[in-house]
Structure 1
């Protein structure tokens, strides 16, 4: 038996834009089901919000997202979750960083760190904090 974990991001009306942005960065396929599609829209203003969505790419990237409807509690929070993208190719991580950085706030520039050949942190236009790094070889 095996399991996988997937980052699931929660928004309030921005899930479709966020999924489209992540798709533009990582490629792959984007899918979204709205509350209207599912026949579960309780608020007509939220009918086109995403009830379930995901981006999944051949390179292993997978993120899910939805829009929390107004009748449920939601708070974006501060530093509640980081999405970590780790690779072994400096060029690939740099290219992803450059795409994610568009419109984002750089918390820590992508550069060599004591613990990794490259490490950087940013907050994207949707308030999600991303950590990108190139995996270091660990010896023990």
Structure 2
């Protein structure tokens, strides 16, 4: 079992450019999924934006990014990042989810998602937003 934390930055229409920039700087493999590819288009303006992306380099560098949906409040400096808690064991992730959420606000309950066996998002009692998931081959 292993668990990692990864910076997860939130942008508005710039995730594709940011991920390409970080890949150019640090190297590694770039993965990007659009709202349309995920089948999660609530606003046509979001269709080609990145719902989830990451750069993973052999030297250990990792960063994730997304374009915040048009219906979600965002401006630079507010909702600017998440901390991504990711593991390969669903039981371990679930066991960490529960104490992490105590005193906080669950924004999306921990449950299966199209790309992973478990995904959830919460704001902890200190105001830090955590995205929690089980790493899968698709991710």
Q: What are structure 2's unaligned runs of at least 5 residues?
A: 82-139
2:31 corresponds to 1:53: no
Between the aligned partners of 2:23 and 2:48, the Cα distance in structure 1 is 19
Q: For the pair shown, which has the larger CA radius of gyration, 1 or 2?
A: 1
- Compute the TM-score of the two structures, normalised by the length of structure 2: 0.54
Q: Is the 8 A contact 2:9 2:66 kept in 1?
A: yes
Task: Let me know the Cα RMSD of the aligned residues.
Answer: 1.6
Between the aligned partners of 1:2 and 1:36, the Cα distance in structure 2 is 31
Residue in structure 1 matched with residue 42 of structure 2 by the alignment: 42
Q: Is the 8 A contact 2:45 2:70 kept in 1?
A: no
Residue in structure 2 matched with residue 11 of structure 1 by the alignment: 11
Give the deviation of 1:2 after TM superposition: 3.3
**Deviation sequence 1:37-61 (CA, Å, 0-9, x none):** 0111111122000000000000000
Between the aligned partners of 1:65 and 1:75, the Cα distance in structure 2 is 15
Equivalenced residue count is: 80
Between the aligned partners of 2:49 and 2:30, the Cα distance in structure 1 is 15
4+ residue runs of structure 1 moved beyond 6 angstroms? none
- Larger relative contact order (CA 8 Å, sep ≥ 6): 2
Between the aligned partners of 2:29 and 2:75, the Cα distance in structure 1 is 28
**Deviation sequence 1:8-53 (CA, Å, 0-9, x none):** 0000000000000000011010000000001111111220000000
Q: Secondary structure at the match of 1:36?
A: helix
Q: What are structure 1's unaligned runs of at least 5 residues?
A: 82-140
Residue in structure 1 matched with residue 32 of structure 2 by the alignment: 32
Between the aligned partners of 1:45 and 1:72, the Cα distance in structure 2 is 13
